[in-house]
Structure 1
Amino acid sequence: MKRQKRVNDDERELPQPIIQHILSFLSMESAARLSMVSKTWYSSWATSPILKLDNKESPLSIEEFRQEFLNYTNKSLQRYRNNVHNNNADALCVEQLQLSMRYFSVSSISNSRFIKKLLDDIETAGVAIKELHFNYTSYAFQSVKDALPELSRILEVGFLTEFSVKGCRLEQKIGENQMIRCCLLRSLSLEYVYTNEDTLESLISSCPLIESMKFVCCPGLERIKAVNNSHNNSRLKNFSVIKCGKTSVVEVQAPNLESFYCFSVVPVIFKLYESCLNLKKLSLKSLSIEDSFFQDFAENFPNLEDLSVVRCFSNKRINISSNSLKSIELRVDRVEVEINAPNMVSFEYVGQKIPCFQNLLDITTTTSTVCNYDIKILNLSFANGDVDRFMQLNKMFEILLLHNKSKVSLLIDFKCNVLNTRSILKIIPIKIAREPGVELENDPTFHIYSFPSSPSFALYSTLLDIVFLICRPTSICLHSDKFSDSGFKKFFGRRLLMHSRRRSSANCSNSWENIRFWEEDLKEVKIVRANDQEEAENEEQFFRLEKIFFRLKWY
């Protein structure tokens, strides 16, 4: 039998760029193990421009592991260092360096010397580092400031395009003999970094190509300023400031800015100058905002499409008017909200006031786009004779459900007293936002949280009436936890499920106590699991679940 001719391994190997791309997604250890598959894989791994140095979970506070990590780093950098010193035209360069030192303590002098030696080796390895990702995790960031590595000299690397560091210092003043040469820098990310305003200002002014800036927990920055001076910041598109505790002022002036995100735990004054006319996404969290900020909103942000205001304070009223807005997220407390956004397709709201909508008729009658409304009303309470809330809820649903493509999810956190719904019905006509016999393509889902803790059938009946006074939902979801009263779920389910027996019973009286106003319209009720169409066989078992759905059909 003749032997089959062997196929050359090189003919079956993937091209080197593809192998290097595959290796870039693997950890340091996995890539090293995979390089043993063949000579081609080893060559691709040894010449990869992406260098990962990660101690994983080995505690570098132990001398043995620290020396082992340093030896591995030297060995990895040697091939780059040799090519640089030999002036090889095809010299390898570190295009992306990912240095991660986790679970590391800098309390000892030996550990600080180790970091300095490691940075010296990296600095002399290759002058063409394009991306630097430095991830340093310390057990006590606030108490070891002086022991943190100083990385200001990295800014002298001329080919640097991405600078992302965590857990270090950038405090050295830029003197006559030291220059910021990373003029090609496009992305800047500082997280848990001690720096100062002078260094940051010098860095920003020396890098006119920056497109993205991110600052997370950076002590020492009382003012973060990215103001357009001549050609500076002309390309800035994304800007984020997150939990910088000592920062009190944030100023941004960038004509091409598209995204702005500011999250602070202390009062912050933020200024977006008139040149930010191309802003498309604005996210504000835990800030102090005055009512005047929303005045002339459409003129100040003519291209804004995505707005998020979360747990901001000092404002008593939010009045948003914009033709460009498509997505709005509001999480507020006792704030009056009025929305005039005819092109809005997504609205997420959490608050204690019922939002008011204007000019939604254009989108609800002309567009074919699916409109999503997720509305959560917290601590909703009704006092006897309080008709305004019913009027507001009915009006809101009447507007939102006019469009067949609307998806409405309403969550109510009930905190109410017993209410005489009979007196309410005498004042308010039962006007439901759906015509009899007409099924909407996407009917509303009603979510109910926080059931009363004390059993009261009068209160249970009131809550049920409130739900059907507001709308005729096709899906009702009851959420509960260990603090909720299971009696309400049982009352709710049994009251809905017994409606057919009530209607067919010849001895049933038509008095108010026996037949509620909404039972005449109810056709069918099913209990199903969350996100499941399977009907319940054992109703008692379903009542013990934290979340159950009722599917309703109406005449």
Structure 2
Amino acid sequence: MFEFARKLQKRGGELIREFCSEIGVEKWGFEVRLHNRTPSIDLLSECLIHKILCCLSFKEATRMSILSKTWLQAWSTLPNLDFTVDFSKGNDMKIVDDIMERYRDGKIPIEKFELSDDRLFFENSHEVLIVPMIDKWLGIVLTNGVKDLTISSYPLFIFAILAVKSVRKLVLESCILLPSVVVNCNSLRKLCLFYVRLDENMLQALLNSCPLIESFIFEYCKGLETMNPQKIKSVSLKFLKIRHCGGIWEIDAPNLVSLKYTWEDIPQIKIVRESRQLKYSRIILECLDSDNVNAAWFCKLRKFLSNSISWSEVRIESYRCNDINIQNLLLDHKDSNPHMDVLNVTIIWKNGESSTFVDTLVWSCQPRRLNVHSTREKITFFIDHLMYMKNSSQSTSHGSTPLLSQLKGVKAYKFDRKKESWHLVEHKSGELVTTNSEMWDWCYFLLDW
């Protein structure tokens, strides 16, 4: 039991199943054995029981509290609290309120607190009652030294939370940020904002108030779609993720380690100082409006990849194939040189083949590795056309376009579902589509430019 509890610190809830396997019982049997009060139950310290219970959901941890007085006491002082409350039900509110009052009166430390409800303000009759009660709970949480705080669908004075020196991680989803006096928060290390409306002043104030922040994630946040660049400046920032937050971004983070960006169009990102520590950088382009994926779009992509940092990975999801005049592209950007390692492409369109799409794709990115996820028919077309491009570049004929002459070598690898491994493809035109052309497959190419 002691070894089981120790391992839980590293590997989490999966150890429950592993431990059950070691002692020869099912998971439910393990719970029954504990319920029968095996003598070893109460040998564990409260600290170790806390570690076990924290690896379970709050509901599962509550079930384990009936095992013995020791486990009940450990559960009653559990430092991690996770409540998804139906605020329209008075019983739910009363249960949570009783628990929070017990933590307040006993001054029980709280390390992690999560509170969510999807219908918080759907019923006006409950709004007046809910707000003071939740404010009361948040006051208890902050007073009891919370380090990891997650709140959903609630109006918050965010700087009042940041004023509490214990908070190291703050996650807000669908919350309304209310203005308040800006403070310095030297404890916060990670800030996550989902579906939160921000304006330029609020973003700058947040970053300025958290001088030691290391991780900043914001997804589907509105209010930043202006013509003015949104500046993210932080010496301490190491991990930055921007997902579906349109706008112009100016990033000045000299110690950045990871940068991830997702949008429907070519990014408008300016890297003020490229970090020497940057190990991973990824762009995901979800091309929902396929009519915009035209020659101008690919020109813009190549220019961006040529003028920015060297990207580790670019991912493109294409929903439609358009014919593109490749000659016009070559004339416009013959001197640009994209910088990237891996290009991931998901081809969703079903009908037609377009050699100009493949030509333009590799021209705009020039990846060292190209990963393709699509039907066997589309993958076969990719293989055939890339091999044609390579052979054309090796030909003594002067009829090849400048693009074709750049590709010196191609190696194609296909994923074997049965063996769950990759193997080199010996190119035979059209071979992969001999059976089940609509079946989806994975293939990757190593390209030598």
Do they superpose with TM above 0.5?
yes
Distance in 1, Cα, partners of 2:59 & 2:38 = 28
The AA in structure 2 aligned to 1:96 is K
Indicate the structure with greater helix content. Answer: 2
| Structure 1 residues 158 and 399: alpha-carbon distance in aligned structure 2, compared to 1, 3 A threshold | same
Partner SS, residue 260 of structure 1: strand
Q: Which residue of 2 aligns with 1:399?
A: 409
Distance in 2, Cα, partners of 1:10 & 1:442 = 51
Q: Which residue of 2 aligns with 1:155?
A: 162
Distance in 2, Cα, partners of 1:149 & 1:296 = 41
Distance in 2, Cα, partners of 1:189 & 1:22 = 27
| Structure 1 residues 292 and 398: alpha-carbon distance in aligned structure 2, compared to 1, 3 A threshold | closer
Q: Which residue of 2 aligns with 1:196?
A: 199
The structure with the larger Rg is 1
Distance in 2, Cα, partners of 1:265 & 1:340 = 21
Higher relative contact order (CA 8 A, sep 6+): 2
| Structure 1 residues 160 and 267: alpha-carbon distance in aligned structure 2, compared to 1, 3 A threshold | same
Summarize deviations over 1:398-457 as a string: whole Å, max 9, x none. 9345xxxxx61299xxxxxxxxxxxxxxxxxxxxxxxxxxxxx943177xxxxxxxxxxx
Q: Which residue of 1 aligns with 2:104?
A: 81
Give how far 1:14 is off.
Answer: 2.1
What does residue range 108-257 of structure 1 map to in structure 2 within 5 Å? 108-126=123-141, 127=143, 128-136=145-153, 149-152=155-158, 153-172=160-179, 174=180, 178-222=181-225, 225-228=230-233, 233-244=234-245, 247-257=246-256
Summarize deviations over 1:354-391 as a string: whole Å, max 9, x none. xxxxxxxxxxxxxxxxxxxxx94668999xxxx96583
Instruction: Supply the RMSD in Å over aligned alpha carbons.
Output: 4.1
Gaps of 5+ in 2: 1-36, 287-296, 348-356, 396-403, 417-421, 442-449
Distance in 1, Cα, partners of 2:415 & 2:138 = 57
Gaps of 5+ in 1: 1-6, 84-90, 137-147, 352-374, 402-406, 412-440, 447-464, 469-474, 482-545, 549-555
Q: Which residue of 2 aligns with 1:466?
A: 429
The AA in structure 2 aligned to 1:200 is L
Partner SS, residue 435 of structure 2: strand
What does residue range 310-321 of structure 1 map to in structure 2 within 5 Å? 310-311=316-317, 319-320=337-338
| Structure 1 residues 206 and 16: alpha-carbon distance in aligned structure 2, compared to 1, 3 A threshold | same
What does residue range 30-429 of structure 1 map to in structure 2 within 5 Å? 30-55=60-85, 59-60=86-87, 62=88, 65=89, 67-83=90-106, 91-102=107-118, 104=119, 106-126=121-141, 127=143, 128-136=145-153, 149-152=155-158, 153-172=160-179, 174=180, 178-222=181-225, 225-228=230-233, 233-244=234-245, 247-265=246-264, 268-286=267-285, 289-295=300-306, 300-301=309-310, 306-311=312-317, 319-320=337-338, 325=341, 327-330=342-345, 333=357, 335-337=360-362, 347-349=370-372, 376=379, 391-392=391-392, 399-401=409-411, 408-409=413-414
Residue pair 1:161, 1:186 contacting (<8 A) in 2 also: yes
| Structure 1 residues 265 and 467: alpha-carbon distance in aligned structure 2, compared to 1, 3 A threshold | closer
The AA in structure 2 aligned to 1:295 is S
Distance in 2, Cα, partners of 1:295 & 1:200 = 29
Partner SS, residue 185 of structure 1: coil
Partner SS, residue 478 of structure 1: coil
Identity %: 21
What does residue range 487-526 of structure 1 map to in structure 2 within 5 Å? none
**Matched positions, count:** 346
Give how far 1:38 is off.
Answer: 0.9
Summarize deviations over 1:467-521 as a string: whole Å, max 9, x none. 36xxxxxx8773345xxxxxxxxxxxxxxxxxxxxxxxxxxxxxxxxxxxxxxxx
Give how far 1:41 is off.
Answer: 0.8
